[in-house]
Amino acid sequence: MSIVLYGSPSSASLVVHWLLIELGVEHELRMLDFGRHEQKSPDYLAINPQGRVPALVVDGQVLTESAAIVMQLADLHPQAGLAPDVGTSARGDYYRWMLFCAYTLMPAYRNWFYPDEPAGPENVERVRESARGVVERAWQQVSDHLAEHGPYLLGGRRSAADFLLTMLMRWSRNMPRPSDGWPALAAHAARMKALPSFAEVYRREGLVDWT
Ligand SMILES: N[C@@H](CCC(=O)N[C@@H](CS)C(=O)NCC(=O)O)C(=O)O
């Protein structure tokens, strides 16, 4: 099987890179230089017309959207036990939290990090304020959930959704209220950071913060 991950350090490709390492999947990593707008190059746009990372090319099939890629990888490696069986109530919870990350947190982060996209440069402050509110309310909801049903999103069992959540928690590290300020979230992050694959993806991407 040939697997190529297109990414950029510390970006949305991190969760895919991390999971490939956690699952022991051999892959080739192609880091794009955002400073040189390589994600908008004709060659890359031919792979992902959105001009965003990640893109995972598996035997010629292009996969995009980090949550979708993570779910596919977890399903392809059932021995790792990171995705509950289809049709079970745990699978329902898994979809719920995966898509909470994808529908609620991801777009809010997009607005936080690219605040001129929704309504131009003159509305950047209002967009950021709104994005910040969405992210903080999401953290409160996840924190309440983990406090009652944790320590992982699905209870006692770690799933691929916890990897996605951890990446998203990391992205708040320089925001006014980082996720670490919620004790249940900090405890969840500490468990995930203790995985050897976390240290390894940090090493490979040259990351040093939020350890
Ligand atoms: N919903 C997408 C988000 C992808 C995304 O926004 N990626 C950012 C990096 S975190 C990107 O490629 N930014 C470069 C750009 O938009 O030019 C996913 O989860 O894969």
Is residue 64 pLDDT above 90, yes or no? yes
Instruction: Name the closest-CA residue to atom 16, ligand 1.
Output: 52
Among candidate residues 35, 189, 27, 31, the one with its CA nearest the CA of residue 198: 189
Share of the chain above pLDDT 90, in %: 100
What are the structural domain ranges in the chain?
A: 3-81+199-205, 89-195
**What is the distance in A from the centroid of ligand 1 to the CA of 2?**
23
Q: How far apart are CA 206 and CA 26, in angstroms?
A: 19
Instruction: Name the closest-CA residue to atom 11, ligand 1.
Output: 52
pLDDT digit string, tens, across residues 96-117: 999 999 999 999 999 999 999 9
Proportion of the chain in helix, strand, coil states, percent, rounded to 5: 60, 10, 30
If residue 63 lies in a helix (H) or strand (E), which one and from where to where? strand 61-64
Residue 93: CB atoms within 10 A of its CB come to 18
Instruction: Name the closest-CA residue to atom 13, ligand 1.
Output: 52
Residue of 44, 52, 111 best suited for mutating to test ligand 1, as the one with most atoms within 8 Å of CB: 52
Among candidate residues 2, 22, 1, the one with its CA nearest the CA of residue 204: 22
Tell me the average pLDDT of the chain: 98
**What is the distance in A from the centroid of ligand 1 to the CA of 11?**
7
pLDDT band at 1; cut points 50, 70, 90: confident
- What is the per-residue pLDDT for 80? 98
Among candidate residues 124, 127, 129, 131, the one with its CA nearest the CA of residue 108: 131
Ligand 1: nearest atom to the Cα of 50: 16
Q: Is domain 3-81+199-205 given the CATH code 3.40.50.150 in the classification?
A: no
pLDDT digit string, tens, across residues 17-63: 999 999 999 999 999 999 999 999 999 999 999 999 999 999 999 99
**What is the distance in A from the centroid of ligand 1 to the CA of 56?**
13
Is residue 130 pLDDT above 90, yes or no? yes
89-195: CATH topology is Glutathione S-transferase Yfyf (Class Pi); Chain A, domain 2 (1.20.1050)
- What is the per-residue pLDDT for 50? 98
pLDDT digit string, tens, across residues 186-201: 999 999 999 999 999 9
Among candidate residues 168, 183, 150, the one with its CA nearest the CA of residue 104: 168
**What is the distance in A from the centroid of ligand 1 to the CA of 88?**
31
Average pLDDT estimate for 166-188: 98
